[in-house]
Amino acid sequence: MMRYLTDETHLTKVPLHKELDFIQKYIAIEKIRFGEDAHITLIIDNTIEDSILIAPFLLITLVENAFKHGFYTNSKDAFVKIQVTLKHDKLLCIVENSVFDKQHFQETNRKGKGLENLQQRLQLLYPKRSSMEVTTTEKSYVTQLKIILS
């Protein structure tokens, strides 16, 4: 993970499979932290080719946000679901996490910047070829990222 962080940050594009490998390693660490019984689901389209390129650290922002805001609770019902698919040249990443009342360790006056920064990066890197939608229900928070890669 550290090698990816240090070696890939200067690149404008990385193979999508490297970004996904980083996410898998991040989830493995979270499973160690929360236990193997943690409700963490990762579904990756198995047809993603090694030649597909993406700007680095786009998808991990959504994953980290889901753990930070929906999983770091004491609830046994906490969950994170991540799905990454590629159809033709359209990348779709859907991240869903549980929603609970704030826990004592989440209380802060700090306003998060992760999704806001991601939106700005998308506008710069994939203008008119990307969208990000957020849907909130009583029990879940869903972020859907679409990028046209060609």
Question: Could you read off the pLDDT tens digit of each residue along the chain, which spans 150 residues?
Answer: 777 677 766 778 999 999 999 999 999 999 888 887 789 999 998 888 888 999 999 999 999 999 887 776 667 788 999 999 999 899 999 999 998 766 544 455 555 688 999 999 999 999 999 999 999 988 899 999 999 998
DSSP assigned state of 104: G
pLDDT score recorded for residue 144: 97
pTM: 0.87
Cβ distance 63 to 41 under 8 Å? no
pLDDT score recorded for residue 80: 94
| The dihedral formed by the CA atoms of 33, 35, 40 and 44, expressed in degrees to the nearest 10 | 80
Residue with tokens 């506008």: 123
Residues in the chain: 150
Q: Which residues pair with 39 in a beta bridge?
A: 79
Residue with tokens 């991240």: 95
Distances (CA, A) of 65 to 25, 72, 89, 138: 16, 11, 25, 18
Q: Structure tokens of 89?
A: 């040249």
